[in-house]
Structure 1
Amino acid sequence: MRNIFREIWEDKRGNSLILAAAALPLLLGSAGLATDTIQWALWKRQLQRAADSAAIAGVYDRSANDGATANTEAAVDHDLTLNNPLDTTKFPLTQKTVTFPSNSGNQQNQVRVVLAVQRPLSFSSMFMTNPPVIQTSAQAAAVSTEGEFCVLSLQKNGKTGIQATGSASITMDCGMMTNSISTNAAAGQGSAVITATTLAAAGGIQQSSQWQVTSYQPYSPALEDPYASLTPDTDDTATCPNNPPSLTVNNGNSGLVVNGGACYSSISVNSNRVLTLQNGVYFIHGGGVNVQGTLNLINATIVLSNKDLSSSSVTVGSFDANSNGQINATAPTTGKWAGIAIYQDRRATDNAPTGNITASSPNRINGNSTNKIRGVVYFPNQQLTYNGNGTGTATCTQFVAKRIYWSGSSGINNFTKNCNMHGMSPITAPLKVRLVA
């Protein structure tokens, strides 16, 4: 028997088996600890995500209630019920603390959420009396922004929504926003200088000497069309005969004044001629408006549409004021069309379906020396070009279009908001809630 054991001891072929057996507990322990580490990291990340979401929900609740905190914990609890992937019925939270740090700078309505849970780990639990504690925290706040815009581009694709070119100077005491998700959502070219309080975009903004702005706000939440619910109806087409006449102001009827609203197939104002439309809605069926002389709108709205209201595919005209065209507009202050100076039906076909801004825009408004516009200029599905070739003013004007192209060769064009007395509602930035800690 002693000889047998001696032979086994002296047999080198068994060394590897002995070493493997000795190392096996170490290998199993390492694998177990690695598995526990991965599982703990996953739970930690899931709990952090739940805390982040809960803190953001709390800020939205505070913002909706003017900063009050009475219902904030309930909002946090509701969010945790929906967005906490951990099984808190089997392993309930050992800590849930909701606090409200004081406002700091532009961080308002702050909410801090601290969460903790004990979860047993499959390997470590064999050696630990109590499961480890996983704890996370998140702090969110409403971040204030410079919020009033008088220029809004509704373009939502990856093409530029606002472009400035030429050498005109435009100054406004409000901001510009585009819903474009392009990395160059607002572009400056040439030597044009656009001065505004804010330049914001759903996409990126490349800083340029063309933009003289107080605040760049790239990657902001997109703004909804503020006039999406405004649509022509049968009351607006009641004055339209089967074949509406066109209205042309030429040598024979210079200085024509129309009162109370009307329906036309198109409107043309020839050079050195004046047309005044006042006190009503002027519905344009299928055709456009061409201004080479002077167009005055007094307590009036031009509606470019089509009286076939039931079809989604109709002909809708454009608005074209050439280089000598003058526009003096004051929108109504009451009624359905309050604040609206020029409205184009959103059924109008986009002249650039690829979404590229083009110099050959179908809609043009010129910023000549006598131009004054008080009201909304609305082209939701087509490009609008503003030619700043003078010292025009746009006191209380909103430009809302799919794409907006600023061009011109000289002059300073001044834009001011001050819109309340003109029946208009301000376009403001949506609430931004962000994690701050």
Structure 2
Amino acid sequence: MAGGEQTHAYCLLALASSGTDPGILTNGAPKADLTGCSIMSDTGMTCHGHNLNADNGDAHGTNSGCGNVQNSNVPKVADPYSSWASSIPSNTCAGNYPQEPSKKKDPALPSSNQYSGSITLPATKIICGDLQLTGNTTITSASPGSVLVIENGQLDTNGYTLQTASGSALTIIFSGTSGSYTHAPTGGGTLDIQAPTTGTWHGIAIYQDPSLTTGVDISAAGNSPTWDITGLVYLPHSSVTFSGAVNKSSNGGSCFVMVVDNITINGTGSILDRGGCTAAGLTMPSDTLTTSISLVQ
């Protein structure tokens, strides 16, 4: 049994509100490296063949092999970011959500749904439907950061880079209605964004509306597109497959936190450059472990 009381801050939290158990799963992944990162599942966690090098693996259920220190039966962590949903700007799309053409006869996306080059955003920008990059794109934001709301659409980086300019910051929000839409980043290329450090959306880089329960899964996190992100990626109902590396944004500090429903970590999954979340404006999810917690060695 553990002695005393410890507080662990998490760079990866699986809420598992779907009931998925284990909430964190890895099959092999010998090159995965979460050094300096503690992880938490509100159900169980299972790591086959490799413990991910996470500092602490904490599970409300059973921890089977995850983390250098492995803890089972810890208290659940409540969703710490759901209340931000009340601050999502109002939908002004009037039911019109252009989608990327899937057939030759489908209409092309309007120019308002295509970004390339240098883009200056106001404090709030609402995109109705899909947003596709047609070239490398640099975002200059309002102060302290811009909020880009994508209603009933995906952010397709399309092989290009979306980057916040030096001194700029961005929160990308996926909102709308559950249904046939995709509410997530897609496509190759790179997301290189820094979250605002102050203001309503401080510390939040990507936010999926917690009312969305379909079209939210991400099958190639960190790979397609590559993630160079400073801040929180909040995907509360998403089943995520994480196979790439997360680095800090080019113009931001060292902070990355991901909240998901459940996650499978494959291959070279790694989170790099941690430790600067206070400076980045983000309060990390945390849990307090007491003497009643069982340690699995």
TM-score, normalised to structure 1, is 0.53
What SS class does the counterpart of residue 423 from structure 1 fall into? coil
- In the alignment, structure 1 segments of 5+ residues that lack a partner are 1-104, 108-142, 353-360
* Residues 305 and 317, structure 1, Cα contact 8 Å, conserved in 2: no
Matches of 1:345 and 1:277, distance apart in 2: 24
* Residues 126 and 151, structure 2, Cα contact 8 Å, conserved in 1: yes
Matches of 1:164 and 1:146, distance apart in 2: 25
Change (3 A) 1:367 1:302: same
Change (3 A) 1:412 1:425: closer
Change (3 A) 1:387 1:159: same
Higher helix share: 1
Change (3 A) 1:413 1:149: closer
Matches of 1:315 and 1:149, distance apart in 2: 32
Change (3 A) 1:153 1:233: same
Matches of 1:369 and 1:396, distance apart in 2: 19
1:325 maps onto 2:184 in alignment: no
Match of 2:256 in 1: 397
Change (3 A) 1:151 1:349: same
Instruction: Give 1:348 deviation, angstroms.
Output: 1.4
Matches of 1:431 and 1:420, distance apart in 2: 22
Matches of 1:330 and 1:415, distance apart in 2: 14
Which aligned pairs between 1:146-161 and structure 2 lie closer than 5 A?
A: 146-156=7-17, 157=19, 159-161=21-23
Aligned partner of 1:302 among 164, 172, 181: 172
Instruction: Give 1:197 deviation, angstroms.
Output: 1.1
* Residues 171 and 415, structure 1, Cα contact 8 Å, conserved in 2: no
The one-letter code of the counterpart of 1:256 is S
TM-score, normalised to structure 2, is 0.76
**Number of residues of Structure 1 aligned to a counterpart in Structure 2:** 265
Matches of 1:144 and 1:269, distance apart in 2: 48
Aligned partner of 1:372 among 206, 221, 228: 228
Deviations 1:97-150 (A, max 9, x none): xxxxxxxx974xxxxxxxxxxxxxxxxxxxxxxxxxxxxxxxxxxx32351111
What SS class does the counterpart of residue 170 from structure 1 fall into? coil
Q: Which has the higher contact order (CA 8 A, sep 6+)?
A: 2
1:175 maps onto 2:38 in alignment: yes
Match of 1:247 in 2: 113
* Residues 2 and 291, structure 2, Cα contact 8 Å, conserved in 1: no
Instruction: Give 1:317 deviation, angstroms.
Output: 3.5
Match of 1:46 in 2: none
Which aligned pairs between 1:113-262 and structure 2 lie closer than 5 A?
A: 143-156=4-17, 157=19, 159-165=21-27, 166-180=29-43, 185-189=44-48, 194-207=52-65, 211=66, 213-233=67-87, 236-237=89-90, 240-242=92-94, 243=96, 247-249=113-115, 254-260=116-122, 261-262=124-125
* Residues 374 and 422, structure 1, Cα contact 8 Å, conserved in 2: yes
What SS class does the counterpart of residue 230 from structure 1 fall into? helix
Instruction: Give 1:290 deviation, angstroms.
Output: 1.6
Matches of 1:301 and 1:363, distance apart in 2: 21
Change (3 A) 1:167 1:276: farther
Deviations 1:265-290 (A, max 9, x none): 221124x6335363311111111112
Matches of 2:114 and 2:182, distance apart in 1: 16
Matches of 2:2 and 2:269, distance apart in 1: 37
Match of 2:127 in 1: 264
The one-letter code of the counterpart of 1:417 is G
What SS class does the counterpart of residue 242 from structure 2 fall into? strand
Match of 1:406 in 2: 265
Matches of 1:371 and 1:392, distance apart in 2: 7
* Residues 168 and 193, structure 1, Cα contact 8 Å, conserved in 2: no
Matches of 1:325 and 1:345, distance apart in 2: 24
Instruction: Give 1:415 deviation, angstroms.
Output: 4.3
Matches of 2:224 and 2:214, distance apart in 1: 27
Change (3 A) 1:268 1:369: closer
The one-letter code of the counterpart of 1:345 is D
Matches of 2:246 and 2:283, distance apart in 1: 26
Instruction: Give 1:367 deviation, angstroms.
Output: 5.3
Match of 1:70 in 2: none
Aligned partner of 1:281 among 147, 171, 178: 147
Instruction: Give 1:431 deviation, angstroms.
Output: 5.3
Matches of 2:12 and 2:42, distance apart in 1: 11
1:291 maps onto 2:144 in alignment: no
Q: Percent identity?
A: 23
* Residues 316 and 345, structure 1, Cα contact 8 Å, conserved in 2: no
Change (3 A) 1:155 1:350: farther
Matches of 2:34 and 2:45, distance apart in 1: 16
Matches of 1:329 and 1:286, distance apart in 2: 21
Deviations 1:206-246 (A, max 9, x none): 12xxx4x3311111111000112111447x127x3434665
Match of 1:114 in 2: none
- Greater gyration radius: 1
Change (3 A) 1:172 1:258: farther
What SS class does the counterpart of residue 229 from structure 1 fall into? helix
Matches of 2:225 and 2:87, distance apart in 1: 36
The one-letter code of the counterpart of 1:340 is I
What SS class does the counterpart of residue 347 from structure 1 fall into? coil
